Amino acid sequence: MTKFPEPPEDDYAFIYLEDTDRPLPAKLTPRTRYAYFKTIARGGKCIVQSCKDMHLGRTICYKKLRPEFEDDPIEQRRFVREARVSAMLQHPNTIPTYELGRDAREHYYFTMKLVHGYTLREVLNFRERYDFHQLIDVLTQVGQALGYAHSHHVIHRDLKPENILVGPFGEVLLMDWGLAKVWRGAPAPPDARPEGPGSNRRLAAEAQEAEPDSSLTGRGALQGTAAYMSPEQIRRDPAIDYRSDIFSFGVMLYEVLCGRTPWEAGTVREMTERIVGEEPVRPSRWTRTTVPPLLEDLAMGCIGRDPAARIQECPEIVRQLREHW
């Protein structure tokens, strides 16, 4: 079985004795806590850097808004929401968030665990190097993270291979909660929270009754990556619920099974029209490789255009992925 690729050795922050025993500065200030910044990624609205936490002696991930968005109040609110959602979702398949703060210029930043590895997109680009069971194991762990988030009233809304990190030591991390939707309302007491097989259905009803926060959901613009969007996300349905994530998950499973997404197009508009208007064909049509019938049925069960026709809960998806398909 091929191992997932390991990054070059010099990317790792080794542990040295002198770092573990160095005394703390006499005066602790966040303005001198982080040093040795190195940009590792630039997104549409954020910059991600690695840096050294001088208090704890570890290398971490430091995220901030791009300069053109640093003073935008809407982007600031979304950024803070992302940091807090990431921090509140404490699951082995989400990235731990360490700190939310302001830098010397009073601009927001938050810090996270730095994990070396490759995105699932990069892995799929070289899928011939990997055992099929490894890819299904990655999706199983993503399904666990999604189920955990849904049980905490959070929808990811941007599920795609680019937002899944695969590390060299078995880490699978669902990243980038910048488009997450949090269902409004004070949390129910523990004994009043829905449990059991129908819990997600009751949570969906709560989500439909929630007031949409249009100020933080793209200002009316289409958010996410078109090939993995659900029809209701494309229609900008204000009552969108966790089943949109299930649709996106199904698209990723479909791609793992046959090497392509259910719908392909040359433009975003054409792609969205196909997702909304065309029924998908089974993944076995697109490949000569044998597709396990159970997994094919699972993928098709996730990508129904009608949310009510899809598989309704992530625990059911995980259960099927773990069967002897």
Closest by CA position to 167, among listed 11, 323, 325? 11
Tokens for 170?
A: 């078995």
CA 101/CA 81 separation, integer angstroms? 13
SS3 content of the chain, % helix, strand, coil (to 5): 40, 15, 45
Q: Which one of the listed residues 53, 158, 176, 241 is annotated catalytic?
A: 158
Check if 158 is active-site.
yes
CA 171/CA 173 separation, integer angstroms? 6
CA angle 69, 71, 77 (to 5 degrees): 80
CA 184/CA 77 separation, integer angstroms? 16
The CB density around residue 64, as the number of other CB atoms within 10 Å, is 18
CA angle 107, 109, 111 (to 5 degrees): 165
List, by residue number, the catalytic residues: 158
